[in-house]
Amino acid sequence: MFRLLRLIILAVVAFAIALWLTNRADAGVGVDRLEVTDPVSGRAAPVTVWYPSDDPDETVTIGPYAFSASRSGRPNGRADGLIVVSHGSGGSSMGHVGTAIALAQAGFVVAAPTHPGDNFQDLSTRGTWASYAGRPKTLSAVIDVLLGDERFAVALKQKQIGAMGLSRGGYTVLALAGAQPELTHLAAFCQAHPRDMFCLLGAAVPARADGERALTGLADDRIAAFVVMAPGTALFPDAALAEIRIPGLFYVAGKDGILGPARHAERFRAHWPASVRYIRVEDAGHASFATPLPDRVTQLLPAFLRDPAGFDRADFVARLDREILEFFNQTLRQEPRR
């Protein structure tokens, strides 16, 4: 009798969670822009923010991306967690717009900065100490600003915070989550693998003067869970990820033309943290985790940033969004909120 009652209770709870997620998926999304300061360079970092809003949607176009949202819509006060997003080198805050919207529809506030000096308009500091130190600190500054913003502060008070990043954005999130990067390891890595794409792609190795600086104090203990996709790992010694104690998803692209798994992700396996799940997507390319671009833009990209032949990015990213949402629901939310 007790076992039957327990099964009934579990079924009711499962139905309640499914209903809650369905209602969240139908929620409207607001989008706005704000600005933080990179604490290292002192340069401005524009931030795109998506959040739950009940205001009417319209078609919003930012760069090559078009999506439905309420431009500068009023937050509805029902936000339930914050997720900060870091783009890859040469990217922008819009690189994961589809995933951001899916998370905002589910009740999260999602904030993505465009990293100064390492974006599609400006690569002036890519690969320097200032960039490697500034990227994680900029995400921490985004958290500070959102938690102090009167539009979100009450709704986000005492809520869990997650982080997500692709490529060099993955490096950024791993450093934020507790992995200790070392410029000396990067120099040694690129000396041992001078033809590695990470080391060939413009200013990947810091200037000599930067090599004497330490990348310390980057971890942010407010981060409770994270997702990284094809992360840049050349700055991390083999055992660096073993220091991570929070739950994470670590996605690897089997056909990564920039960060080949054999030299990058696979070397951590002997020291893999129990809290992090390793997921290898065999047919994916390096950029396959980002929101699909229009064909006219994709055709202009170099081959290593295009998807492998036959890979359906739209279908894959739709499934990826569901996996990421499920992960953050499980790790950042103790129980469903109505």
- In the block, tokens 């990348």 appear at 215
| pLDDT surpasses 80 at 15 | no
Rounded to the nearest 10 degrees, what angle do helices 168-177 and 129-148 cross at? 70
* Phi, psi for residue 331 in degrees, rounded to 5: -95, -25
Q: pLDDT confidence of 3, banded at 50, 70, 90? A: very low
How confident is the model at residue 144, as a pLDDT? 97
| pLDDT surpasses 50 at 263 | yes
How confident is the model at residue 334, as a pLDDT? 66
How confident is the model at residue 16, as a pLDDT? 33
Pairwise pLDDT comparison (184 vs 308), residue with the higher score? 308
Q: Which of 141-150, 235-244, 329-338 is predicted with the least confidence, judged by mean pLDDT?
A: 329-338
What CA–CA distance (Å, rounded) separates 91 from 53? 27
How confident is the model at residue 149, as a pLDDT? 96
HSE, CB side, 13 Å, CA atoms: give it for residue 49: 27
Give pTM, 2 decimals.
0.89
Task: Extract the runs of DSSP E, i.e. beta strands, from 230-275.
Answer: 248-253
How confident is the model at residue 18, as a pLDDT? 35
User: 127 in helix, strand or coil?
Assistant: coil
How confident is the model at residue 302, as a pLDDT? 86
Tens-digit pLDDT profile for residues 146-172:
999 999 999 999 899 999 999 999 999
Pairwise pLDDT comparison (337 vs 284), residue with the higher score? 284
How confident is the model at residue 191, as a pLDDT? 87
Share of the chain above pLDDT 90, in %: 75
Rounded to the nearest 10 degrees, what angle do helices 313-332 and 97-105 cross at? 40
How confident is the model at residue 127, as a pLDDT? 87
β-pairing, 276-281 vs 248-253, is parallel
Q: For the chain, give the mean pLDDT.
A: 88
| pLDDT surpasses 70 at 338 | no
How confident is the model at residue 214, as a pLDDT? 83
Average pLDDT score over residue span 119-124 = 93
User: Where do the structural domains in the chain lie, given as residue ranges?
Assistant: 2-332
CA distances from 44 to 33, 56, 70, 114, 219 (A): 13, 30, 25, 9, 21
Average pLDDT score over residue span 39-47 = 97
How confident is the model at residue 8, as a pLDDT? 29
Q: pLDDT confidence of 300, banded at 50, 70, 90? A: confident
Tens-digit pLDDT profile for residues 194-220:
888 888 875 556 666 666 678 999 999
Q: Which of 5-14, 116-125, 182-191, 306-315 is predicted with the least confidence, judged by mean pLDDT?
A: 5-14
Q: What's the CATH number for 2-332?
A: 3.40.50.1820
